[in-house]
Structures are given as structure tokens and as C-alpha cells.
A = this chain, B = another copy of it.
Amino acid sequence: MPELRKDPVIGRWVIISTERSKRPGDLAPEMQDAESAGPVSCPFCAGNEHMTPPEILAYREPDSRPNGPGWLTRVTANKFPALKIEGDLDRQGIGMFDRMNGVGAHEVIIESPHHDRRTEDLDHEQVVRVLTAYRERIEDLEKDPRLRYVLVFKNQGKAAGASLTHPHSQIIATPIIPKDVKEKLDGAKSFYDFKERCIYCDVVRQEESMKERVVVDSEHFLAFCPFAPRFPFEVWVIPKRHSCAYTDIANEELDDLASVMKEALSRISKSLNRPPYNYLLHTAPNRIPRKGHWHTLGNDFHWHIEIMPRLTRVAGFEWGSGFYINPTPPEEAAKYLREVVL
């Protein structure tokens, strides 16, 4: 059973993953995983459905059958999950330390049957399916009262942490609110307490009026390089309508989001020669707990997606201080991204 442990000074929980337990010989610097697997041996390719756990959700051709070919987007449990769905949390102290069982969900969203097609290469309808799968899985997972947060993220490319080439997103649902998420919730809350306005709404208005960091401006979304980005060419996608939870997105907005994500990722891909990247969906904590004890937490939040191309190495200075050195001013990055010809 994986275990969650808390750092006693700063309160950061970590997962000690027994499933993935590594002895020194297994830990090669900069591990190279099964990235080279081609369509024959790739567990995410059509025809290889038996190589993954059974599907949790799939959007399929009308005449196709579960766990066989004919799917367009498919969700399964992660074969090597960081957290396990069965069991109780069993929170306890060990002397001054705190631990609990690593209960949670770890799922894989296989974005399309195409082995080599990155998210930005998918057609519009396929991106809509991926974003719809995110919504459907979050809605389902937040019904579990043991879980407090659902994090949707994507690792594109080996340098971004992907262990398989075939484009996929991941979902990890956790019994705690992760530390960096909590900081954003707290930051948004204290701004709201002081100003009685949402800070992300203010950011959208300021970026719209300054224009110099805007990448894509659509009816419902603004994609821009943030004022103080950690990484070169970092792009945030924020809905213009205030809403704390991604699951509240309307179908019309989701359709627009698919266009904006495809365009933002295509601009990054074209400008930077198909770089590795990560993106993350930041949404409010789960609804069910919010109705009880946690009900105010997150209402002043504003969901958004952060896209981070992986171009620079993170070194000792950053790890130790949380203080990042970014060699590209976001105004320059936004100008490149806006002007690149797709």
C-alpha cells in the first residue's frame, strides 16, 4: 500500500510509492522509460486494449464494444498507480510525524487511437472529447467522500515526465488538498476577503487591457503569458466568466476551450519546435466535502489551465528556494507566440 507522509515543518505531503519501489540499481539518473515502444507494443494503441486495465470510460464508434478497438478517447486505471482506490485512510501519528494510507485514484486518459498525434495535432472534435472526458471523470471522482482533490495533468515528451509516447493525460485524485493548490486557494481567498473581487478576474481584465502578454483572445477564454512566469513561454488559459470549478463549464464554453487549447499548444509547438511540455488543470477542491465542513473553500477560486514548455533545467537554486530564474520575458514570449505563422 502506498503511504502519504507529511513534512512536519512546511506541511507538504509526499507519496511514498511502494508499487513503484526502487532500489539503487533501478534508479538510473534521468531514467529512460518505454518511450521507444511503437504501435505494436504500445499499450495505448488500438488493438492493444488487453494491455491496460479495463476501461472506466470510453467514447466509441456506435458499433464497437468495450475494451476492444473502435474507441476515440479512452480512460483506464493507471497500471502502476501512485495511489490505490481501495481501503481506508487510517490517519495516524508516528511520534511527531503524520502519515495515512495512500488512498486515491490514478487514471490515464488515452487521448486518441493515434500513436504519434500530440494534443495540438488532434482535430477539433477530438480535443472536445478529451476535455469532456476530464469533466466526466472529475464529476465521478468527486463523489468519493475520501477524496478532496482531483488533479488533471499532462506530460508531453520524455523531458516532461512522460514514460509512454502515445499522447495521454493523467488524473490523480488525492485525499488531501495538495500544497501548491492550497496556496492558490488561500491567495485567491485573501484577495477576495480584502477586495471583494476575484483576483483571477482582475488578472484577466488587466491582461486584456495591457494586451502585451496576450496569446489568444476568444469569446470565453484568454490565453496569455503570465506576468511572473516560472518558465519561458509559460501560458495560462483562463475562462472570462468567473467559475471556481471546471465541471461547471458549459458545452459552448468547452467547445471554445478546445479551440483555444489547440491554438495555444500549436503556437508553442511551432515556435519551439515541438517541445516537451506539461499542462495542468487547476480547479476548486471536490464538491462533496465543500458542502459540509469545507463548503467555503474554493468558491473565490477561478479555474484555469497552466501550460509549461520544458525548456530549461530546474537546478539547485530553484529546488531550495522556490525562486525561479526565467530567461525569457513573458512580453517577448507572447509576441513570438502571437506572431508565429501556423
Contact = CB atoms under 8 A, between A and B. Distances in A.
B278 A313 contact: no
Given A27-B311, A314-B161, A22 B321 contact: no
Interface string A93-110: 011110000000000000
Interface in A181-211: 181, 183-184, 187-188, 191, 199-200, 202-203, 206, 210
A98 to B, nearest CB: 9
A280 B29 contact: no
Nearest to A27: B311
Nearest to A102: B325
A151 interface: yes
A9 B280 contact: no
B326 A14 contact: yes
A79 interface: no
A69 interface: no
Contacts of A94: 227
Nearest to A331: B16
A21 B328 contact: yes
A7 B228 contact: yes
Interface residues of A, number: 98
A9 B200 contact: yes
A323 B16 contact: no
Per CB-CB distance, the 9 closest pairs between chain A and chain B, nearest first, are: A161-B315, A280-B320, A180-B322, A278-B316, A178-B321, A5-B228, A153-B316, A178-B323, A9-B187
Contacts of A276: 29
B160 A323 contact: no
Given A15-B326, A95-B206, 16 more contacts: A7-B226, A7-B228, A8-B202, A11-B187, A15-B324, A21-B327, A22-B328, A23-B328, A24-B271, A29-B311, A31-B312, A94-B227, A170-B317, A178-B322, A180-B323, A280-B321
Given A8-B199, A228-B7, A329-B21, A30 B306 contact: no
A329 B17 CA distance: 8
Contacts of A170: 316-317
A332 interface: yes
B320 A18 contact: no
Contact of A14 (B28, B181, B325): B325
A265 interface: no
A303 B24 CA distance: 29
Interface in A12-40: 12-18, 20-24, 27-31
